[in-house]
Amino acid sequence: MNQQNYQCSIAADFTPREAFEGISQVNEWWAKNFEGSAEKLNDVFTVRFGETFVIFKVTESITCEKIVWQVTDCYLPWLKNKTEWNGTSVMFEISSLGDKTQVTMTHIGLVPEIECFSGCEAGWNRHFKGSLFKLLTEHAGVPQ
């Protein structure tokens, strides 16, 4: 079985601080319907898309280097297991790549064997590679 977690990287001319702060501005790149805060350790926030929701807790935060969000509850109505993301974590690692800054996102637990993988992979690609990248490079993301 291939237990490889979803992972994706972006890199461009933005600073590690801009990346760190941009990731925390969830409503600017991922979900317009955002409640709570994602700025510091132990913050709790919820993203909603219609009846779909995911609640996260910030479980690790190292300024300009790393952010980890753990899913504490979710409701994914299109799946058989509507709480499939529970217990998974989303990790953002910020590093230098030559003269650019790179952000690598890993959704730990989002693996090809689970029902959500294809749809969730497409969603993360759109939000992370598309919208967060635009927020960091053009200062305007495309949240849904």
The domains of the chain are located at 6-138
| Strand order, beta sheet including 6-12 | 6-12, 100-108, 89-97, 66-75, 52-62, 44-49, 33-36
In this prediction, residue 3 carries a pLDDT of 67
Least Cα distance to 81 among 35, 105, 117 occurs for: 117
- In degrees, rounded to 5, the angle at the alpha carbon of residue 27 between the alpha carbons of residues 109 and 124 is 35
Provide mean pLDDT across the span 87-93. 98
pLDDT in tens, 21-44: 999 999 999 999 999 999 999 999
Handedness of CA 30, 19, 45, 35 (dihedral sign): negative
Q: Which residues pair with 58 in a beta bridge?
A: 69
pLDDT in tens, 110-126: 999 999 999 999 999 99
Provide mean pLDDT across the span 10-17. 96
pLDDT in tens, 91-104: 999 999 999 999 99
Q: What global pTM score does this model have?
A: 0.95
Taking domain 6-138, whether its CATH number is 3.40.50.300 is answered by: no
Q: Tell me if 39 sits within 8 A of 25, measured CB to CB.
A: no
